[in-house]
Amino acid sequence: TEPVLSVRDLHTHFRVEGGIAKAVEGVSFDLFPGEVLGIVGESGSGKSVASLSIMRLVPDPPGLIAKGEILLRGRDLLKIPYEKMRKVRGGEIGMIFQEPMTALNPVFTIGMQLTEAVRVHEKVSRAEARDRAIEAMRQVGIPDPAERLKDYPHQFSGGMRQRVMIAMALICNPSILIADEPTTALDVTIQAQILELMLAMKEKKAGSSIILITHDLAVVAETCDRVVVMYGGKIQEVGTVHQIFEEPKHPYTRGLLASLPTASTERKSRLSTIPGNVPSIMNPAPGCRFSNRCPEAIDRCSVEEPVLHQLPGERFSRCHLVEEEALGQVDKEKADV
């Protein structure tokens, strides 16, 4: 199958006092039709910047996509005019963010924002757009949708606002939905409802795909088909959900899994049990980005940066141990994941 979206060698930088922060460095991955791809990492791993780069929403300045390609069905989104990109957003690619208030305009009613979202992308009458808005709100489970069109964002509860944002993201039937921590601010029951809703919406349009960005491996286990693990602006491991959970090939992934609560412990909201801090993206140390926190580090780790090794079964791991273990096997750096 051809990927619907291919990110190729993406480099996104921020010009900050004293230099350049390389938030995303050489990230490549594919998104296939019908799949839910999780991008996992702690805050500062580059996962959100990668998703903002796909949408060309990195604030410039100080941000800058220094290099790379974002291929949507073969068309490079980094090369199309800005006006065309506006149509891609909310059209072919829908977005959901952690905090709906940043995506919803507080001074317009939900009805105005939903109908406008339709009319930016499709030639429909106001009445038709209004019908679509009501239908979208009904689909995401907002009671009395026709009445609630008149309300402003602050008149909705947190969970309902997240539903409004999903309605907005899906009203034009995008083939890709990018959701960045869509449930983080919500309580556990609403979280589960929102994830179920996203998956149900995906099933409605055959071949549509989701990129789910999260720090929460429990969410990944429940929703994703494949996982990209990021750390220090780089991809560290790629595999299916089963591979990642059953046979992690990177010490960072193993650390994330170890920090997952078991049935008997309380669910943690942050992956905070790996000691140490995320590396400086301003002045990354030589060697592996994870070496100052890695419990399995060997001598070469602090001097030599590992490449992203390809393993059997479309798996990838950026770790020297993989190479040491597989001595005799041919290693190669492969950009396309």
Binding site for ligand SF4 (CB under 6 A): 250-252, 288, 290-291, 294, 296-298, 301, 306, 319-321
Residues 6+ apart with CB under 8 A from 268: 259, 260, 261
132 versus 234: smaller Cβ distance to ligand SF4? 234
| Residues linked to residue 180 through DSSP beta bridges, in sequence order | 213
- Identify the DSSP state of 113: H
Provide, rounded to whole angstroms, the least separation between the CB of residue 87 and ligand SF4: 42
DSSP state letters, 188-220: HHHHHHHHHHHHHHHHHSTT-EEEEEES-HHHH
Which of Mg ion, ligand SF4, none has residue 48 at its interface (CB below 5 to 8 Å by kind)?
A: Mg ion
Question: Cβ closer to ligand SF4: 14 or 252?
Answer: 252
Taking the alpha carbons at both ends of the chain, their separation in whole angstroms is 14
**Residue 61: cis peptide before it, omega within 30 degrees of 0:** yes
Q: Which of residues 34-73 bind Mg ion (CB under 5 A)?
A: 48
Residue 48 or 183 with smaller CB distance to Mg ion: 48
Q: Which helix (H) or strand (E) holds 16?
A: strand 5-16
Q: 111 touches which of ligand SF4, Mg ion, none (CB within 5 to 8 A by kind)?
A: none
Least distance CB 328 / ligand SF4 (angstroms): 19
Residue with smaller CB distance to ligand SF4, 6 or 291: 291
- For Mg ion, give the closer residue by CB, 57 or 80: 57
Contact 176, 211 (CB under 8 A): yes
Please report whether residue 28 would count as binding Mg ion according to CB under 5 A. no
Positions touching Mg ion (CB under 5 A) are 48
